[in-house]
Every structure is written in C-alpha cells, then in structure tokens.
Amino acid sequence: MEASAGLVAGSHNRNELVVIRREPGGGGPGAAARLAAEAPCQICGDDVGVGFDGEPFVACNECAFPVCRACYEYERREGSQACPQCRTRYRRLKGCPRVAGDEDEDGVDDLEGEFGLRHGGEEGGDGGGDPRDIAASMLRAHMSYGRGDAHHPAAGFGAAPGVPLLTNGQMVDDIPPEQHALVPSYMGGGGGGGKRIHPLPFADPSLPVQPRSMDPSKDLAAYGYGSVAWSDRMERWKKNQESLQHARSDGGGDWDGDDADLPLMDEARQPLSRKVPIPSSRINPYRMIIVIRLVVLGFFFHYRVMHPVNDAFALWLISVICEIWFAMSWILDQFPKWLPIERETYLDRLSLRFDKEGRPSQLAPVDFFVSTVDPSKEPPLVTANTVLSILAVDYPVEKVSCYVSDDGAAMLTFEALSETSEFAKKWVPFCKKFNIEPRAPEWYFQQKIDYLKDKVAASFVRDRRAMKREYEEFKVRINALVAKAQKVPEEGWTMQDGSPWPGNNVRDHPGMIQVFLGQSGGHDVEGNELPRLVYVSREKRPGYNHHKKAGAMNALVRVSAVLSNAPYLLNLDCDHYINNSKAIKEAMCFMMDPLVGKKVCYVQFPQRFDGIDRHDRYANRNVVFFDINMKGLDGIQGPIYVGTGCVFRRQALYGYDAPKTKKPPSRTCNCWPKWCLSCFCCRNKSKKKTTKPKTEKKKRLFFKKAENPSPAYALGEIEEGVPGADVEKAGIVNHQKLEKKFGQSSVFVASTLLENGGTLKDASPASLLKEAIHVISCGYEDKTDWGKEIGWIYGSITEDILTGFKMHCHGWRSIYCIPKRPAFKGSAPLNLSDRLHQVLRWALGSVEIFFSKHCPLWYGYGGGLKFLERFSYINSIVYPWTSIPLLAYCTLPAICLLTGKFITPEVRKTIY
C-alpha cells in the first residue's frame, strides 16, 4: 500500500515539515478603522464619523452597531439609553455629558490610552486595539514563531494530489504554487494586500447616503444635527419602534414605518433563543408526587428505626442500611429533575444578525474533531461518512475545519481519508445544490422515504443517480483498501517515495500531520472552496502515559489552536455523523447570543442512534436520561457532557473561569436629581473622590476593565502604570507563567490570548506547521496543567463526565439543545455483549472518579457549581455502588426463610 498524498511527519529527534510559498500581505487594522468610519448611521443615515480622539466613533462596544455621535447622545438623553441592536446599555464615552443612571467613576473610559496598550498597530497605531496586536506585543520580546528556520517563503495549507513526500527532514523550496501543503489562515484576496477585513455589521457602502466629514470642533448644528427636520425624524423613528413593539405584544398589527429596513433591524436584535418552560399542568403533579413520596419515606423510616428486631438485629440493621441507600439514590435522581425546561432557537434571526445575504458572514469559525483508533473495530467507511457529513455542513466554508485524530497511526485510515477527500469534491456540491438531508452518503441512500419530496430541480434525478454510482465506486475503493490491509508486509508499509510509513510501530512513532483539503488547496468540481481537512496522529513513545482518548483530544485542541484557532469546537465519535446540516447554527444561537452566550461553556445535543429495533431491547435510546434527566439539568446549570455531539467554547477548555455577571448600576442617593449635587451626602462623596490618589483611580479602573472576560486582559497580569516598553517586559513575565501552564510553545500560548480566535499575524504558515508537529509530541504535556485543569481531564476512562464537571465548577453553564430534526446520529450496540461492555465501561469510569480528587462529594465547593447540579454529578458516580446493597437486599429474604428470623417485627394480636 502506498500513500497517495503528501505527509508531514516529525522525525525521532526533531520535527520536520514541508515549507512552501508566501502570499503578499498587507492591509491591517487601519483599513478596518476606515471602514468603520465610513459606515452610515443606521438611525439618521448620516456618517458615523470619528470621535474627539480621531478614532472611528463606536457607540456600543458589544456589537459595534453603527450610530453617529449625535444619535448616541440623543438616545442617552431622551431615549432608552440602550443600543438598538443588542439592547446593551450605552456607556458614557469620552466628551459626552453624564445622564441619570451612569456609573460613578472618575474621568473617562479610555483604558487603552492610559495604560499604553495602543502600540504596534499599522498606520500610526490604528490597529492597536486588535487582540492579535495586544497578544503579540505582550509576547514580542520572548516569542519565537516556530522552531528551526522559519524564514522560508510559505503561504497556506492544504494538500493536492502529488505533493512530494518528506520523511528525511529535507526542506523543499521549489514546490510549484499549485502544489502546496498548507492553506493560509484567514487570508485571502481583498483590499490592502490580501488580508480579509470584516466591516461593522449593517455597514453597507451601497446605501444612497452622501459621505461627509465631521469636524468635532464645529457645532453640530452646522451639519444639520439638532435641526427641526432631524428632530422630527428621530421622533418618527421612536414612534415607529413603539408601535412595532405594541403590535408584537398584541400578537398582530401592521407596522406603518417609513423605512423598510427597520423591521428587519428590530428582528435581528431579538434574542436568538428562548426558554420554553414545561407547563405547570404537567410538572406540578410530578412535583407533588415527589413531595408525597418524601413524606411517606419519612414515616417509613421512623417506623423502621423505632421498631428494631432484637432477635435478628444483624439482618434488621443490614436491611435498614440498604433501604437508606435506596432512598438517598432516589433523592439524588429525582431532585435534579425539579426544574425541567425546553429551548427554542431562531435561525432566521441568527442569519439576519450574522449571516446576511450578500455580505461577509460574521458567524464564528468552528473546528470539528473526529477521533478514531483501530480501523478493524471502527470501519474506515463509517469514519468516511462522518467526515463527509462535516465537509458538507450548512455553514460558511471558510469557517469550517475538520481534524481527524488517528490514535492508531494506521496506514489504512490515512489512505481512506485521502480517498474521502477526493470523493468530497463531488459529494459536497451535490449536497448544497439540492439541500439534501442527511449529508452522510451511506445513510442518505439507505433512506426508505420519497427522496423526490420537496425537490423542484429537473436535473435532481439524473444527478442523484450519477452520485449514487460515484458513491458505490467510492465504497469499492475503500473495501479494496480494507482487504489489502489484512496482509501487512513483513517490512511494514511503505510510501510513494519508498520510505517506510512512520506509523508501522503503533507504540513508537513520530507525530504526523497531513492537510488534505483547505481554503486554497482543494476545490470541488464546480471550482468552489472546500473546508479544511487535516489528518493528525500524535507522537507515541514507550514509557509515556498517553491517556487514551482524552490525550488524543487534547492533542487536537493544540493542533487546531496553532493552525486555525476557531473559538468553538465540536467533537464527534467516528461513528456519529451529522444528521441535521443546520445543527451548528443551532448551537451558535446559544454561543453567539449577546445575552446568554458569554457564560455558556458548551452546547450538548442528545445522542440518537440508527439500527435500533422497534422494542429497543437493550435500552440504547436512553429515553429517561436524554429526554427527562438532561432537560431537568438544563433548568439548573446545564446538562453533563456525554462524550460526543457537543460544541465547546475553546476558552472554557483552557480552564478559565466564567465571566462574572455584572450587577446593574444602583443609585446610591435618593435625592431629587435636580438637587443631587448640593446635598450633604453627595458633597461628601465628591470630596472623597477628589482626595483619592491618581494611582488608586487608575488601579480601580484597570481592575474594572479586567472583569471583561477577554483573556487578552484577564490573563495578562500587567503591572499598574506600566507604560510603553515596560508592557513588553510584563508580557515576558506573563508568557513564562503561561508556558508553565500551557506548555513550551510560544505560538500556542499566544493563541490562548485570542478570545475570538484567529492565528497570529506575524507567524508564517511554515512556522505554524512546525509548531503543530511540536505540540503533539508525547512529552509536551510534562509539568503542565494539561489533563489537570486544561482540556479533557485525565484520571478516568469516562473523561467526558470529568471534563464537564470541571467546567461547571469554574462557574460556566451548559445548554441542552434538541432540534426538531436530530442533530447527530450514531451506531448503537447490536448485541448484548457489546451493550454490557459499554455499561461496564461507564461503571468503571464512575468508580475511578469516586476515588479521585475530583469526586463531586468533596471537590469544587466555593466555586460556581450549584447545589442541585452537584446532586446530579454525585448520582452519576455513586450509581455503580448501588449494586452492593441491591445484592444484599435481594439475598435477605432467602436468609430469613432459612433461619426463620425476619427483618420486620412480629405483629401480635391481643384477644380479649
């Protein structure tokens, strides 16, 4: 068997890779600032302009909804004081007068200017506020992007057929541009030399608005602001908004506004999801039954304890202990179901806000993880269907990256993935052209339904017939690879250039990375780009504990952070395919919601299975767990993580605490506003404020800014008042602390500072690939927090329960999402032995957690874990122990019959 595509593998001594060309760069944050300044105000239609400091005026720091300064001040003075899009209360900006409700603070909110954080940007520092520039400046003096020679020209990732193989450590510089091994991260054609710039939302330069400059030194009346016409327009807009809200609250009515875009804008700023409580008529009877059972239990144990059996005291004591255990188990199982809820998403609002037609998509990138180990137990055809369903998902192509972890370093898996990448060039456009479901070909062609339903294209039948023939040929090629892999040559597998396959020894091989598809390295048959597809096999050496699946998932976290660094991750088992192509958008309705998304660590989908018989004799559906228990947990702090079908926030996997909920500003004075400045208490406050040292003011302002969940500030422990070059010195100290936590990789450490994802600007793709090989080395996690506080947690074969438990202890909450069409489907155990083996594995994992330091009985107190949520975790780790009292209680009747002694007192009748 020969490898059909290029492979990047690390050597035994040092990791090597292919280095290729570089695309011209340019542009930068300055261009984004100019676009922001040219965006028209979405209220009055005039230019947004710039503020007093010369920077583009941004009224709302949460969503950057384009509003000019005059409308911003009018909204704060006369309106609702909130952003029209995200409904976040406007904060007072520099040069703006205070209004009722402003927080009591000194000076202005200009932290970046006070602490010298604006530096290193392009065009005179226009881009100093970019988190990438801040992260780079903090680590500039210490960071080296990649190891070895990182100055070779390189550009992007993505493999094409015929890429020269490299296993001997030689660098290749003369590869033709059409044959490259990497695809550029977030770079492409566009103004300013190839870097893509995303304008502010709703900034449409094609609107018929004449641009005009705005001089802050002039009076606003010179530009028409404050005039009668402008005031009338503002009043008309406010009335239209009120009438629209009134019509919606009444469940109908017509909107008679003048601007046709305002209803869409109002719809776009509505919540992306909502809770649907269970009706009281359904849940209250269940709660009453729980309370009644508790009362009955109280009377029962009062009788049992107060009436011991002295003749059979040992049997009586054992029975009472068993009964108490059963009662406690029942309580642990019932009370987390006290507040069940359901959820509903609005995909149309998500599209209006982040994915408007004709404009660049603002949806967040997502990295998909697929894990596999043994191709003999996990057939390559099943894994191929999972990968194909990911590549064809209904999501922007440039936002999707699929990483396949082969923890068995099997040549068969590598070759099957190569064949899959070729077939995807035909399958993906077919799925998107006809909008088929599901997008895994094996299950799509097996559907016993009318496949012509809702199809209107005349060419559909012809194209479907041709695609089915293509898939059958693809299956034959995969089956041929499986048959060939049954006989392993004595000398092991070899690649096209004659060198041995690096993974011939499963327990001793270097790390391997191969990018099959990418943004510029793979196009479908219609010439459209395909999502990135990356093969990863981490390094294995004797004597190292590789931590099985948890270790493989952590390796994928680091590789993806270096190559694409999407802010969200989705992990799937190799036998779980995407059954609903819009499932990722369902998750984004929670993750990207400005109201609830910041505190969500993951969105868990229920597990659904194919091939279950009608009676479900092995209970594979787990109806009680997935349809009852998990809904109850969603009403508390969120469902537990079940190992697959889960969308994570990358920052939560890094062990960060959840952002603190900001308390609404409260009035400290009950005086009439007109006389507030002259009252006694306010005079005392003003005196106290003036006597505070300037350093104390800055310190208080800085720590208020540090409450922002952005890791660029939360992690960087910048000393107070560090100006200019001292920021770099503070960055070096912080970088050393972060390396002890995350490992010895400057590129990866810097990527952890980017809350919204994206790769560092100064890192070349060649150095990124070198670093990706480095972070999957077997000794990378030594003396770090990986598996302890970061990533998937080690210590149990049920690493999923531990990982979700740690996140909840950090104050995060999770979401349970049940779309109408199941999001993912997998393969269920088909016989009793497989089912028993699965249950035994879960039980052993729970016992391991019970004896570990992360046991919910004693871990996580004082954190963010809620009381009832702790009940659910305790129940998940103590249920295997129920087998012991159950066995003892079932044995007691036989013992009583043999000995003639009973566990209940004898009832004697008195005859008068």
Q: Which residues are catalytic?
A: 407, 800
Q: For residue 757, give the nearest of 572, 592, 550 by alpha carbon.
A: 592
* Cα–Cα distance for residue pair 556/573, rounded to 1 Å: 13
Q: What is the rounded CA–CA span in Å between residue 548 and residue 858? A: 26
The C-alpha angle with vertex 384 and arms to 383 and 388, in degrees rounded to 5, equals 120
Tally Cβ neighbours within 10 Å of residue 837: 11
Contact 164, 6 (CB under 8 A): yes
Answer whether 112's CB lies under 8 Å from 129's CB.
yes
DSSP state letters, 356-400: -TTS---PPPEEEEEEE--TTTS-HHHHHHHHHHHHT-SS-GGGE
DSSP label at residue 494: B
Place of tokens 């919910």: 856
Asked if residue 627 belongs to a known ligand binding site, the reply is no
Please report which residue ranges of 607-648 form alpha helices under DSSP H.
623-624, 630-634
- Rounded to a whole number of angstroms, the distance between the first and last alpha carbons of the chain is 96
Query: In 392-498, where does DSSP find H-type helix?
Result: 411-434, 441-445, 460-484
* Six token digits for residue 81: 């004081």
CA distance 807 to 650: 11
687 is known to lie in a ligand binding site = no
Is 102 marked as binding a ligand? Answer: no
Cis-peptide into 438, omega within 30 deg = yes
Residue in this structure with the two tokens 């059954």, named with its chain if needed: 579
Question: Is 616 annotated as contributing to ligand binding?
Answer: no
806 is in an annotated binding site: no
Are the beta carbons of 70 and 225 closer than 8 angstroms?
yes
Q: How far apart are CA 9 and CA 572, in angstroms?
A: 25
| Residue 425 CB burial class (10 angstroms; 0-12, 13-18, ≥19) | middle
47-75: buried (b, 16+ CB within 10 Å) or exposed (e) per residue? bbbbbeeebbbbbbeebbbbbbbbbbbbb
Q: DSSP assignment of 215-283, as one string?
A: -TTS-GGGGTTTSHHHHHHHHHHHHHHHHHHHHHHTT------S-THHHHHHHHTS-SEEEEEPPHHHH
Task: Compute the distance between CA of residue 6 and CA of residue 495 in angstroms, rounded to an integer.
Answer: 9
CB distance 159 to 6 below 8 Å = yes
267 is in an annotated binding site: no
Torsion angle in degrees (nearest 10) through CA of 867, 868, 870, 872: 170
Regarding beta strands 646-649 and 600-604, do their DSSP bridges make them parallel or antiparallel, or are they unpaired?
Answer: antiparallel
Q: Is 407 flagged in the annotation as binding?
A: yes
Q: Which residues carry a binding-site annotation? A: 371, 377-378, 407, 548-549, 573
Q: Which residues carry a binding-site annotation for UDP-alpha-D-glucose? A: 371, 377-378, 407, 548
Q: Which residues carry a binding-site annotation for Mn(2+)? A: 549, 573
